[in-house]
Amino acid sequence: MDIHQLSAINKILVVRLSSLGDILLTTPLIRALKKINQNLQIDFLLRQEYKDVLKLNPNLHELFLFTRNDFENLKLVNKLKEKRYDLVIDLQNNLRSRGIISKLKGEKVKFDKKSFQKILLVKAKINLLKEAPPIPVRYASVIEGLQLDSAGLDLFTDKEPSAAIKSKQNLIGLCPGARHFTKRWPAEYYIQLGKFLIQNNFNVVLFGGKTDSEICEQINKEIPEALNLQNDNDILQTAADMKLCSAVVCNDSGLMHAASAVGVKVLTIFGSSVKEFGFTPYNCKSLLIENNSLSCRPCSHIGRESCPEKHFSCMKELKPEFVFNELIKFINND
């Protein structure tokens, strides 16, 4: 499929079932497709729990929600069949997504996950991904010749900022959560960073989803001055609140991409992650901090529940004092 063939296409289904960050990373592609033809109908299939990420996106016509209910999903596939899509873009490219799109007619294109190259980098430290572009660009490459604009990710919210945050100035957001342990900068480091910030007349705001309640409470207990806005995955409220921050400090997580999408400055701390995998903040003011002195990085392309080398130096050697100083320089550098 190349860009010239798009002129004959009226209806497209984009498939990316999960997760928060991966879905946000599809939005430059959606925007680029819509710019080619404003009358193009673009539908999107994703997991039900992530619907808020795209429900206000003006470039999409309809969302279809995948659930954990097999009977509901059978009905869903039948609905998709009735749509008679001209093109199906599978950006998930796993067994589940391939099973769904195999039942649909129309031309199909799939995202190249570069699984072999990732395995080589993790297992043998042979890096064939040095020149690999970020994920949004790789998503767009499923359509030959399709070029993205210079804007970043899209996350549209209709929420007002929380009342508790509106009256505060000099806000720095901290997002201490991440799905896997090796992607989380230690909680005690976030605590120390928060204390440095408060000592220097900043206000600290904690952001997180449902699974981040424990770590946010732990940090808030040690920094009672911090405003804890962790919630039960209300991404649109989090987005509205993030917009008021001077910067957001985060791990390699979905909230890193959410912060990127709302246009705030993003400082990201990478542990087991490396930029070659393509999941860095996209087209926004960002600073990536990582420990490049270690031969064991990356130890995984998705993250692990413990450090295989037992030292966790990729995160532990990135001290709070260093991150604080880098953050101040980053904020002041316009």
- pLDDT of residue 119 exceeding 90, the answer is yes
- pLDDT of residue 283 exceeding 90, the answer is yes
Q: Which two tokens stand for residue 161?
A: 């900022």
169-179: pLDDT as tens digits: 999 999 999 99
Mean pLDDT of 228-233: 98
Q: Which two tokens stand for residue 238?
A: 């989090």
CB 193 within 8 A of CB 202: no
CB 38 within 8 A of CB 60: no
- pLDDT of residue 41 exceeding 80, the answer is yes
The model's pTM: 0.97
Using CA atoms, how far apart are residues 142 and 110, in angstroms rounded to an integer? 7
pLDDT reported for residue 93: 96
Mean pLDDT of 69-77: 91
313-325: pLDDT as tens digits: 999 999 999 999 9
78-97: pLDDT as tens digits: 999 999 999 999 999 999 99
CB 253 within 8 A of CB 190: no
pLDDT reported for residue 1: 85
- pLDDT of residue 213 exceeding 80, the answer is yes
User: pLDDT tier at 68 (50, 70, 90 boundaries)?
Assistant: confident
Share of the chain above pLDDT 90, in %: 95
Q: Please give, one letter per residue, the 3-state secondary structure of the chain.
A: CEHHHHHHCCEEEEECCCCHHHHHCCHHHHHHHHHHCCCCEEEEEEEHHHHHHCCCCCCCCEEEEECCCHHHHHHHHHHHHHHCCCEEEECCCCHHHHHHHCCCCCEEEECCCCHHHHHHHHHHCCCCCCCCCCHHHHHHCCCECCCCCCCCCCCCCCCCCCHHHHCCCCEEEEECCCCCHHHCCCHHHHHHHHHHHHHCCCEEEECCCHHHHHHHHHHHHHCCCCEECCCCCCHHHHHHHHCCCCEEEEECCHHHHHHHHCCCEEEEECCCCCHHHCCCCCCCCEEEECCCCCCCCCCCCCCCCCCCCCCCHHHHCCCHHHHHHHHHHHHHCC
Pick the CATH number of 3-140 from 3.40.50.2000, 3.60.21.10, 3.30.930.10, 3.30.1340.30: 3.40.50.2000
Mean pLDDT of 30-41: 94
- pLDDT of residue 126 exceeding 90, the answer is yes
Neighbours of 52 (CB within 10 A): 18
Neighbours of 288 (CB within 10 A): 15
> Do the domains at 3-140 and 169-332 have one common CATH topology?
yes
- pLDDT of residue 334 exceeding 80, the answer is no
- pLDDT of residue 70 exceeding 80, the answer is yes
294-308: pLDDT as tens digits: 999 999 999 999 999
CATH 3.40.50.2000 fits 169-332, yes or no: yes
- pLDDT of residue 310 exceeding 90, the answer is yes
- pLDDT of residue 288 exceeding 80, the answer is yes
pLDDT reported for residue 178: 97
Q: Where are the domains of the chain?
A: 3-140, 169-332
* Block residue for tokens 């490219």: 93
Using CA atoms, how far apart are residues 34 and 40, in angstroms rounded to an integer? 6
